[in-house]
């Protein structure tokens, strides 16, 4: 009844970084007990159905501070981050499960508000809250698992030379909010929204899949890091023009303070939860404009795929060094 | 393509206790965004398939201490606890996802060992590790989500007057180990095994389902508490004879120290991960012996279901008061 997905026992090829070193170690250790680690989602074929699953952990003082966000926002953000992985797979969400641990000082009202945020994010993409678990811990912890289906999963590994790279929405807004909070400044409403209320790009992901996407992932580590992961998984080279990046309107002021160009800041942001997708070159600007209008989010061409390896970022035609965002760095 | 499970929008009726008060609050708050909360597992009908999902959170210093267990045992125990929920649904496991947060001091080797434990537990019941997430936290946190299928899910709500109650394995071993550790004493190997290496009763759960089980759950809060949940969900009364309980061999010595009868200690244990099942009275001692031998675990008749409400524990024919085990108590 059950079989491993088409890629068999091979895990997705992983890009550089300490978190990925750990995943590599785990995949080695698990050997044949594990299947398809390293992509946005796990695929599971049951009968004639492909299930798509992902899990996403949010920890207080690592992913957020409870002084920055309301419990409802913590819940929305955690669920949206997990649902974003389904978007990157071109999947249709079915349900979410949320495991929550809260300090002894948390009130029942706060726990309910957090779950309300999870429920709102699920409902925004037509999914139900199916269950969860509840425990104590020293800090707030929320782990959201999402399950969906797709007839046509889009992996990280399918980009081909000649493909064009597109990105949804804008980049750097979430990092702008983070920078401001860390400086003790309350972010402007737009930056705050990018951090607290990311929109999982479910509709766009599906439409990109239907439009022939070769490879897709969601930007959680920042474009600089995630582009490397896409290149590694697809065994191709990626070239991105920094000048082409759609930058969140709040970035300019924040980047200026640290003497950084907004483009660099945006490329090195984290937790944008936008889609990075390799489309065949038959996918035109007009196609992009149609999808963007349908799904109410911009879609911007930012680079191309070629033979080779790694991700190169160009500024004025010259390669520049960029670091990604890594929770283990 | 997707529909809510047969029970529609009604959540499982919940028994007493502060943790269940919280779940009640969450279910109220989520309203129509949630489906079927309060049972061991969530059910999700996709096409002609019934998916069974559950998630189980283990937190250092709440569910275990890292001085008691090796990382591998922490991983096994967390995965076995989640898989036990599938057993209680008479489901066949397909895969597990594990989200892990570790302190900055944890070595890559320890993280790999923990995932090896998760992988071993999954492999022991024919499931794969499909994915996970990895983060930092102040203490060890592991959340395991399991997915399976079943043609015939067994809920908590189906017990009927006239049913007989059976329990698998022995009770109180895990609590005996916990008591000893909390007294600063290393438990004997059998008690330690009950705590560190619970066996998810997958094969037995399926065979009980095939044999006509009316209602089933796994014992995580202890028989005293869980019997109340079964009674509440099924809107029946449950009577259990303490003298009939199969008690773990390590319990007697530990219970004696606190001046408690082993039967009471066993009934108030927690995290036994054994199955409590309501079988029609056509299910005989001979049927039980056959299943027990097939699945290599004992199956003991401990009580009966009747009209009414609540769970009553008898000692020498006289009702006695017992408290359950509650992480929020």
Q: Mind telling me how many Å the CA of A228 is from chain B's nearest CA?
A: 19
Residue scoring higher pLDDT (A302 or B4)? A302
Quick check: A59 and B99 CB within 8 A?
no
The residue whose two tokens read 């399976």 is B148
d(CA B293, CA B228): 29
Q: Chain-wide mean pLDDT for chain B?
A: 91
Q: Is the pLDDT of residue A202 over 90?
A: yes
Residue range A80-106: mean pLDDT, rounded:
96
Q: What pLDDT does residue A19 have?
A: 67
DSSP category for residue A198: P
Residue range B133-143: mean pLDDT, rounded:
93
Find chain B residues with C-beta within 8 A of A129's C-beta. Answer: 30, 33-35, 37
Q: Is the pLDDT of residue B219 over 50?
A: yes
Kindly report the number of other CB atoms within 10 A of residue A159's CB atom: 28
Quick check: B99 and A143 CB within 8 A?
yes
Whole-complex ipTM: 0.88
pLDDT band at B323 (very low <50, low <70, confident <90, very high): low
Q: What pLDDT does residue A10 have?
A: 54
Residue range A243-260: mean pLDDT, rounded:
95
Q: Is the pLDDT of residue A329 over 70?
A: no
d(CA A13, CA A9): 12
DSSP category for residue B259: T
pLDDT digits (tens, 9 = 90+) for B166-206: 999 999 999 999 999 999 999 999 999 999 999 999 999 99
Among the residue ranges B20-24, B40-44, B190-194, B323-327, the one predicted with the least confidence is B323-327
What percent of chain B lies above the pLDDT cut of 90? 79
pLDDT band at B30 (very low <50, low <70, confident <90, very high): confident
Q: Is the pLDDT of residue B251 over 90?
A: yes
Find chain B residues with C-beta within 8 A of A91's C-beta. Answer: none
Edge-first strand listing for the sheet containing B318-320: B215-218, B275-279, B164-168, B299-306, B237-241, B310-315, B318-320
What percent of chain A lies above the pLDDT cut of 90? 79
Find chain B residues with C-beta within 8 A of A131's C-beta. Answer: 36-37, 41-42, 53-55
pLDDT digits (tens, 9 = 90+) for A132-160: 999 999 999 999 999 999 999 999 999 99
Find chain A residues with C-beta within 8 A of B143's C-beta. Answer: 55, 57, 99, 133, 143, 145
Q: What pLDDT does residue B22 have?
A: 75
Quick check: B99 and A21 CB within 8 A?
no
């Amino acid at each position: 009844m059950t079989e491993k997905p088409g890629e068999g026992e091979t895990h997705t090829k992983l890009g550089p970084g300490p978190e990925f070193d750990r995943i590599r170690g785990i995949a080695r250790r698990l050997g044949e007990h594990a299947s398809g680690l390293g992509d946005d989602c796990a695929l599971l074929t049951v009968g004639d159905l492909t299930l798509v699953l992902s899990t996403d952990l949010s920890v207080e003082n690592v992913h957020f501070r409870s002084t920055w966000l309301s419990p409802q926002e913590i819940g929305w953000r955690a669920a949206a981050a997990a649902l974003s992985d389904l978007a990157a797979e071109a999947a249709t969400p079915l349900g979410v499960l949320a495991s929550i641990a809260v300090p002894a000082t948390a009130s029942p009202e706060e726990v309910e508000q957090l779950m309300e945020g999870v429920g709102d994010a699920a409902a925004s993409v037509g999914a139900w809250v199916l269950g969860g678990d509840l425990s104590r811990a020293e800090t707030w912890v929320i782990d959201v698992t999402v399950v969906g289906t797709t007839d046509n999963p889009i992996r990280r590994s399918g980009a081909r030379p000649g493909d064009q790279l597109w990105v949804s929405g804008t980049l750097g807004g979430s990092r702008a909010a983070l920078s401001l909070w860390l400086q003790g400044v309350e972010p402007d409403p737009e930056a705050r929204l990018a951090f607290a209320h990311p929109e999982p790009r479910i509709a766009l992901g599906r439409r990109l899949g239907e439009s022939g996407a070769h490879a897709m992932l969601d930007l959680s580590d920042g474009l600089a890091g995630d582009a490397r992961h896409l290149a590694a998984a697809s065994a191709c080279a990626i070239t991105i023009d920094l000048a082409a990046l759609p930058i969140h309107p709040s970035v300019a002021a924040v980047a200026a303070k640290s003497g950084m160009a907004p483009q660099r800041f945006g490329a090195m942001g984290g937790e944008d939860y936008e889609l990075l997708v390799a489309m065949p070159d038959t996918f035109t600007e007009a196609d992009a404009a149609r999808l963007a209008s349908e799904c109410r989010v911009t879609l911007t061409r930012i680079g191309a795929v070629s033979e080779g390896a790694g991700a190169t970022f160009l500024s004025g035609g010259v390669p520049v060094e960029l670091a990604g965002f890594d929770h283990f760095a």
